[in-house]
């Protein structure tokens, strides 16, 4: 048995259990070993029975008088008495009929569980018990608690992990000796052992630091290697034309912010070099990233280069086309903007392809349709990728390959990411941050609402609708048959259209509709044929409806903080006061996340808070490939991140041969392949 052996080779694991383990992404023995606990419960302190106090306790005692019986409605109760030299205590298990037969007389057991008062008697409820040994797994220690699934509980995973860790002697060190010594890290084998079965809380923290450091080191090293590979390519320089830039800015109906000016200048400097630009423009919703893209595009088109802008949805591609035709029309390039999306007719696509191939289209805007083989680029000099985390690296490389050389690449995202985190995740990118909103934009008023306030809220909303405004209602689900619970588009649509807002025009939009159906609905909403649009998070990114001033989010506690902030950004696009109402599913106190959203509209502040609250976990939430998620490292640990980043740079500066470290090589290669950052 090796690290790469299937889990079916572990004792007692058959085909059915293999399928259940696969639900937890545990396929191999290595997956099992690297499936670290979600949390820990401390049962390491062994207490005498006469010293028991309510709460989590561990005993070392004999168990006597174990017996079971069925009570009302088929419930089974097993009761026993545990005794040590200081006294006795009652043990109770519910619906575990095997317990009585499994307990051996005249044996010492470790017993761990919750001691408390039940029906007038002190008892330990549903305790874990195991024979006293030098290495208990479920009691008398800091106990690991794993992510579970139907038919796979933590106690079972602990047994499997214990067996698998017999392989630990074969777990090679992943990192260079100079790095282990310089960072004062414990070796990998010991770190894994302590992570699953910590000998103390101090040993657990040491293990976490070792494994967290390695995670961030691998991620950063992958990003740096991608960056060095990218910079070896040659791009076609696009010289800066000062008159064109001034003419463009002079025709704008608004004044650029200082952050926009700084970002545009950084982009122009990058484009003027033969080393390809690879820059991320990060800005909050409504900060004006599209204008930056327009200024980059017009500079390239002036010098007979083509530009491709890829958007994540057809709705957003259409909106970009309308916006950029207007912006570029002011300097004579409006007719050079073209749209290529799957929703076009065959004849429309044919014309679009011809215009792209002969160079009549200077700025191509589209979705994945731009990657299609039959789209022949004329002279591609610049690629702009909006919401860049939604596109895979292979998709991007296909687009780059059409140029015949490495074009300049400008990424844009409206998901605020703290700078310390951005430097780690986007190590191969240069970063520009637009951290101020255009002057005159009104702050969106945000309010947490409980279900019993609906009547007053709907009255306030109806006044806004009467004044000609529009509202988004976002729900977590499409229909009410979905198992995860919560309100749905269908349920809310039916309720509002038959009751509270039956006098209003209501539409619905969700991810199961075809692109054509979504476009029809959004077109009607934009043209004010609907007063209310009930939808899922399909409208989260990019949809721009200036007349929409109300965002009502149902079951707000079911959404992530970043997602809520993005949804809120769908209103407040015009010059009128806008509102975001966060409706709770019940009357419980709102979470810290929701309170923060109510108190600030600053996306960067919210991102910092989200990072502190979330700890390790998904880097990009719902949008990112799971291979980039961190299992141990906390992205708020700036000292560790800085140390790992410096170590990755040192690894490259020392000309280390990564192939000497087989596990590191495999892991970094995988990260380089799945990362959506190059």
160 CB-contact burial (10 Å; exposed 0-12 / middle 13-18 / buried 19+): buried
403 or 57, greater pLDDT: 57
Task: Answer yes or no: is 574 within a domain.
Answer: yes
Summarize the confidence of residues 482-501 as an average pLDDT: 80
In this structure, the answer to whether residues 405 and 452 fall within a common structural domain is no
How confident is the model at residue 561, as a pLDDT? 81
In this structure, the answer to whether residues 483 and 587 fall within a common structural domain is yes
Total domain count for the chain? 3
In this structure, the answer to whether residues 484 and 361 fall within a common structural domain is no
- Helix (H) or strand (E) holding 269, with range, is helix 258-271
Residue 541 has pLDDT above 60, yes or no: no
What mean pLDDT is reported for the chain? 85
How confident is the model at residue 419, as a pLDDT? 62
In this structure, the answer to whether residues 267 and 327 fall within a common structural domain is yes
Q: What CATH number did the domain enclosing 66 receive?
A: 2.40.50.140
How confident is the model at residue 582, as a pLDDT? 93
In this structure, the answer to whether residues 360 and 258 fall within a common structural domain is yes
In this structure, the answer to whether residues 564 and 466 fall within a common structural domain is yes
Final residue belonging to a domain, choices 122, 140, 158: 140
Task: Answer yes or no: is 655 within a domain.
Answer: no
**Domain around 555:** 445-600
Chain centroid offset of residue 140 CA: 36
- Give the pLDDT band (50/70/90) at residue 626: very low
CA angle 649, 674, 564 (to 5 degrees): 100
129 CB-contact burial (10 Å; exposed 0-12 / middle 13-18 / buried 19+): buried
In this structure, the answer to whether residues 81 and 130 fall within a common structural domain is yes
Q: What CATH number did the domain enclosing 262 receive?
A: 3.40.50.300
d(C-alpha 81, C-alpha 89), whole Å:
6
Chain centroid offset of residue 62 CA: 49
Task: Answer yes or no: is 220 within a domain.
Answer: no
In this structure, the answer to whether residues 300 and 449 fall within a common structural domain is no
Final residue belonging to a domain, choices 413, 435, 461: 413
- Give the pLDDT band (50/70/90) at residue 560: confident
Summarize the confidence of residues 441-447 as an average pLDDT: 85
Phi, psi of 345 (to 5 degrees): -75, 165
In this structure, the answer to whether residues 404 and 457 fall within a common structural domain is no
Residue 87 has pLDDT above 70, yes or no: yes
Q: Which residues pair with 56 in a beta bridge?
A: 114
Poorest-pLDDT segment among 289-298, 348-357, 613-622: 613-622
Task: Answer yes or no: is 494 within a domain.
Answer: yes
Close Cβ partners of 101 (under 8 Å, ≥ 6 residues apart): none
Task: Answer yes or no: is 510 within a domain.
Answer: yes
Final residue belonging to a domain, choices 600, 634, 659: 600
pLDDT, tens digit (0-9, with 9 covering 90-100), for 196-236: 999 999 999 999 999 999 998 998 898 888 888 877 878 88
pLDDT, tens digit (0-9, with 9 covering 90-100), for 5-29: 899 999 889 999 999 999 998 999 9
How confident is the model at residue 376, as a pLDDT? 79
Other CB atoms closer than 10 Å to residue 497's CB: what's the count?
Answer: 18
Task: Answer yes or no: is 235 within a domain.
Answer: no
Contact 654, 403 (CB under 8 A): no
In this structure, the answer to whether residues 387 and 460 fall within a common structural domain is no
How confident is the model at residue 629, as a pLDDT? 62
Torsion from C-alpha of 542, 545, 549, 551, nearest 10 degrees: -40
Extract the tokens encoding 552. Answer: 């009502």
Extract the tokens encoding 255. Answer: 């004044």
Contact 409, 400 (CB under 8 A): yes
Task: Answer yes or no: is 181 within a domain.
Answer: no
Percent share of the chain, pLDDT over 70: 90
How confident is the model at residue 168, as a pLDDT? 64
How confident is the model at residue 481, as a pLDDT? 57
In this structure, the answer to whether residues 253 and 388 fall within a common structural domain is yes
Task: Answer yes or no: is 234 within a domain.
Answer: no
Tell me, letter by letter, the H, E, C secondary structure of 121-142.
EEEEEEEEEEECCCCCCCCCCE
């Amino acid at each position: 048995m090796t690290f790469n052996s299937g889990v079916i080779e572990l004792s007692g694991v058959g085909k059915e259990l293999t399928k259940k383990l696969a639900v937890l992404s545990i396929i191999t023995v290595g997956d099992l070993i690297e499936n670290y606990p979600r949390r820990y419960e401390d049962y390491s302190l062994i207490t005498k029975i006469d010293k028991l106090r309510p709460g989590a306790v561990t005993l070392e005692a004999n168990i006597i008088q174990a017996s079971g019986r069925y009570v009302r409605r088929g419930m089974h109760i097993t009761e026993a008495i545990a005794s040590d030299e200081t006294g006795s205590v009652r043990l109770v298990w519910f619906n575990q009929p095997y317990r009585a037969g499994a307990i051996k007389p005249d044996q010492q057991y470790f017993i761990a569980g919750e001691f408390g008062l039940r029906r007038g008697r002190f008892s330990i409820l549903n305790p874990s018990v195991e024979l006293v040994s030098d290495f208990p797994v479920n009691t008398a220690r800091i106990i690991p608690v794993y992510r579970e699934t139907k038919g796979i509980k933590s106690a079972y995973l602990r047994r499997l992990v214990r067996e698998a860790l017999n392989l630990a002697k074969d777990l090679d060190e992943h990192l260079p000796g100079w790095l282990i010594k310089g960072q004062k890290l414990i070796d990998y084998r010991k770190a894994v052992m302590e992570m699953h079965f910590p000998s103390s809380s101090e040993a657990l923290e040491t293990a976490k630091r070792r494994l967290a450091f390695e995670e961030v080191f691998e991620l950063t090293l992958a990003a740096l290697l991608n960056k060095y590979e990218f910079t070896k390519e040659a791009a076609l320089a696009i010289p800066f034309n000062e008159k064109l830039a001034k003419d463009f800015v002079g025709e704008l109906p608004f004044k650029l912010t200082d952050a926009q000016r700084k970002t545009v200048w950084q982009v122009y400097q990058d484009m003027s070099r033969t080393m390809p630009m690879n820059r991320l423009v990060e800005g909050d919703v409504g900060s004006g990233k599209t204008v930056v893209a327009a200024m980059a595009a017009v500079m390239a088109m002036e010098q007979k280069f083509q530009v491709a802008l890829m958007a994540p949805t057809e709705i957003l591609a259409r909106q970009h086309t309308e916006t950029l035709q207007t912006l570029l029309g002011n300097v004579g390039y409006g007719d050079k903007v073209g749209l290529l999306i799957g929703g076009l007719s065959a004849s429309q696509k044919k014309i679009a392809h011809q215009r792209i191939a002969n160079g009549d289209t200077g700025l191509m805007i589209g979705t994945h349709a731009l990657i299609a083989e039959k789209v022949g680029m004329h002279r591609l000099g610049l690629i702009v990728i909006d919401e860049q985390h939604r596109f895979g690296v292979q998709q991007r490389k296909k687009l780059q390959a059409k140029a015949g050389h490495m074009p300049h690449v400008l990424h844009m995202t409206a998901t605020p990411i703290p700078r310390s985190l951005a430097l780690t995740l986007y190590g191969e990118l240069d970063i520009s941050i637009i951290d101020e909103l255009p002057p005159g934009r009104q702050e969106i008023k945000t309010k947490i609402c409980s279900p019993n306030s609906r009547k007053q809220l709907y009255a306030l909303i109806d006044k806004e609708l009467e004044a000609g405004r529009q509202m988004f209602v976002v729900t977590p689900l499409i229909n009410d048959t979905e198992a995860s619970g919560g309100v749905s588009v269908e349920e809310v649509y039916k309720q509002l259209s038959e009751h509270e807002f039956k006098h209003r025009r209501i539409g619905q939009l969700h991810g199961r509709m075809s692109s054509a159906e979504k476009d029809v609905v959004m077109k009607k909403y934009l043209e004010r044929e609907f007063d209310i649009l009930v939808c899922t998070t399909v409208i989260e990114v990019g949809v721009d409806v200036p007349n929409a001033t109300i965002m009502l989010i149902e079951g707000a506690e079911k959404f992530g903080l970043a997602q809520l902030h993005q949804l809120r950004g769908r209103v407040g696009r015009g010059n009128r006061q806008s509102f975001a109402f966060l409706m709770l599913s019940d009357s419980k106190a709102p979470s810290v996340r929701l309170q923060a959203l109510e108190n600030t509209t600053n996306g960067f502040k919210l991102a910092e808070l989200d990072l502190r609250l979330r700890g390790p976990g998904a880097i990009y939430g719902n949008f990112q490939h799971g291979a980039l998620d961190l299992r141990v490292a906390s992205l708020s640990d700036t000292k560790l991140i800085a140390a790992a980043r410096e170590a990755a740079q040192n690894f490259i500066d020392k000309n280390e041969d990564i192939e000497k470290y087989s596990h590191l090589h495999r892991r970094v290669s995988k990260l380089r392949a799945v990362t959506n950052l190059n």
